Amino acid sequence: MKEVELLAPAGDEESLRASLRFGANAVYIGGEMLQLRSDQAAFDRHSLVNAVAMVHQAHRKLYVTVNSFPTDRELDLLPEYSLFLQKAGVDAVIVSDLGSIAVIKKAAPDLAIHVSTQANCCNSQAATVYYQLGAQRVVLAREMTLEQIARLRDKTPPDLELEAFVHGAMCMAYSGRCLISSYLNGRSGNRGECTQPCRWGYALMEQKRPDEYFSVEENNGKTAILSSHDLCCIDFLDQIANAGVSSFKIEGRMKSANYVATVVNAYRHAIDGDVRIDLLKRELNSVSHRPFSSGFYFGREQTNPYNDGVYRSDCRFVAVVMGKSADGYIVQQRNRFSVGDELERVSPDTVGEKVRVLALFNEAHEPVTDAKLVEEKLTLVCDSVLEPGDILRLRISSCQESF
């Protein structure tokens, strides 16, 4: 599996750096227009140019999402934006709309096109048509089974690359074309404005009893009848590769750098085959997620039968290592921790290494007993060797039932 691409998300520069440090072969981000995430996860032109330079310096690739469904007015602006992305050195754009593909190919013919999962490509004929239109890669519909992917691979041009999601949140309209948010809130998920109503709680009301609401309970009093599981494929990555997929995609451009670092690290080790899978599952349980599922790779979802819709995690992200000092390490606080705590280090070269907090000093070099000020920089004295960019976390529970 070492030849497959591990494709990681980044919603800001911190997550971009984490993706690169923890082993992603490529990173995908959003730019200033037609990206299906909030503006908080968008790179402006200046930061996008810097992102290209950073990624290429690391000898990796950068893809930009242009996968919203555009209006005619937006299509008028797309040629100039496409040409900017091509000149910036972006390695590919991820596109859903046929009109957008036509406009991009005409305006920026050297800009590679990857067809987004939003296009819901699930058969060889559609994939071949996209290839004939100039697409280099198709991101497969999330509804496809391994058998269907293998059949599509056999019937499509060999140089058409196939990409598939292997981890992260799933929309209830699995490939992402959902109308619930548009209907309830007037904010379209197909335009990057989803309010996630599939995560809400719902009740049943009988027509002749309009003021009586009956809860719809799935498990332990929880109501989440529309909430999808989170996808997790770490157990069967080899089967996805054998079906013909050459790029493994992690969802999460709205996720924290801690989440990105942890998940990318786990999948990097899984692809390289140098860490036991049970330890990597423990890593995935350490960051916020809903109950895990195999998606539809085996047909019907293989999953925990109950999904309460509640996010859970085994660990709390407490600090990121900034550098070394004369008597310890400079860390930036992210959540509260104290002297005497046994933390865990997330680093590309280790999984779950223990770090004992022996002492803490504030910026005035005064001793403190705990780190409680948001994003305060502290000197941490510990019994381990740390590196800049390492994540420090505090284990708080165990949720092995997620698998």
Q: Comparing 364 with 301, which gets the higher pLDDT?
A: 364
In sequence order, what are the beta bridge partners of 329?
A: 324, 380
Mean pLDDT score, 37-42: 75
How many CB atoms are closer than 10 A to CB 336? 14
Which residue's structure tokens are 């990857």? 114
The pLDDT value given to residue 38: 67
pTM of the model: 0.89
The pLDDT value given to residue 399: 54
Contact present, 45 and 70 (Cβ < 8 Å): no
The pLDDT value given to residue 262: 97
Q: How big is the CA angle at 139 (ends 109 and 262), to the nearest 5 degrees?
A: 115
The pLDDT value given to residue 354: 96
Q: Comparing 190 with 234, which gets the higher pLDDT?
A: 234
Q: What is the CA radius of gyration of the chain?
A: 22
Could you report the per-residue pLDDT of 198-223, keeping only the tens digit for each? Answer: 777 777 777 787 777 766 665 555 55
Q: What percent of the chain has pLDDT over 90?
A: 73
Nearest Cα neighbor of 240 from 252, 232, 228 is 232
Q: Where are the alpha helices (DSSP H) in 304-374?
A: none
pLDDT higher than threshold 60 for residue 306 = no
Domains of the chain: 5-174+229-293 (3.20.20.70), 315-402 (2.40.30.10)
Residue 17 DSSP SS3: helix
Q: Comparing 38 with 142, which gets the higher pLDDT?
A: 142
The pLDDT value given to residue 218: 57
Quote the tokens at residue 301: 């979802």
How many CB atoms are closer than 10 A to CB 83? 14
- Label residue 167 by pLDDT band (50, 70, 90): very high
pLDDT higher than threshold 70 for residue 191 = no
Q: Comparing 174 with 43, which gets the higher pLDDT?
A: 43
- Label residue 80 by pLDDT band (50, 70, 90): very high
